[in-house]
Amino acid sequence: MLSEATDPAQPLPLTRSSVLAAKKTISHLIHCTPALTSSSLSGSLPGKNRLFFKAENFQKGGAFKFRGASYSLSCLTPQELAKGVCTHSSGNHAGALALAAQQRGVKCYVVMPSNSAQPKVDAVRSYGASITFCEPNAPARAATLAAVQAQTGATFIPPYDAVNTILGQGTALLELVEQVPEKLAAVVAPVGGGGLLAGTALAADGTGIRIFGAEPAGADDCARGLEEGKRLPDVDAHTIADGLRTPVGVLNFPIIQEKVEKVITVTDEEIIEAMRLMWERMKIVVEPSGATAFAAVRSKQFQELGIQGPIGIIISGGNVDLSKPLPWAHVPPE
Q: Using one digit for the tens of pLDDT, what is the confidence trace for 126-165?
A: 999 999 999 887 788 889 999 999 999 999 999 999 999 9
The Cα 208–Cα 203 span in angstroms is 11
Instruction: Report the SS3 class of residue 66.
Output: helix
pLDDT band at 6 (very low <50, low <70, confident <90, very high): very low
Alpha helices in 4-91 (DSSP H): 16-26, 39-43, 65-74, 78-83
Same fold, 16-63+162-315 and 85-153: yes
Please indicate whether residue 90 is annotated as part of the active site: yes
From the candidate CATH numbers 3.30.70.100, 3.90.950.10, 3.40.50.150, 3.40.50.1100, the one assigned to the domain spanning 85-153? 3.40.50.1100
Q: How many other CB atoms sit within 10 Å of the CB of residue 101?
A: 27
Instruction: Report the SS3 class of residue 270.
Output: helix
Indicate the pairing of strand 186-190 with strand 311-315.
parallel
The Cα 230–Cα 211 span in angstroms is 19
pLDDT band at 5 (very low <50, low <70, confident <90, very high): very low
From the candidate CATH numbers 3.30.200.100, 3.40.50.1100, 3.30.1360.40, 3.40.50.880, the one assigned to the domain spanning 16-63+162-315? 3.40.50.1100
Name the pTM for this structure: 0.93
Q: Which of 23, 65, 107, 120 is catalytic?
A: 65
Please indicate whether residue 323 is annotated as part of the active site: no
Whether the Cβ atoms of residue 91 and residue 318 lie closer than 8 Å to each other: no
Q: For the chain, give every domain's residue range.
A: 16-63+162-315, 85-153
Digit-coded pLDDT (tens) for 33-50:
999 999 999 999 999 999
Q: Which of 18, 72, 89, 90 is catalytic?
A: 90
Instruction: Report the SS3 class of residue 189.
Output: strand
How far from chain centre, in Å, is Cα 250? 16
Contacting residues for 168 by C-beta, under 8 A, at least 6 apart: 22, 26, 67, 68, 69, 70, 71, 72, 199
Q: Residue 162's closest CA among 62, 14, 21, 25?
A: 14
Instruction: Tell me the DSSP string of 68-123.
Output: HHHHHHHTS-HHHHHH-EEEE-SSHHHHHHHHHHHHHT--EEEEEETT--HHHHHH
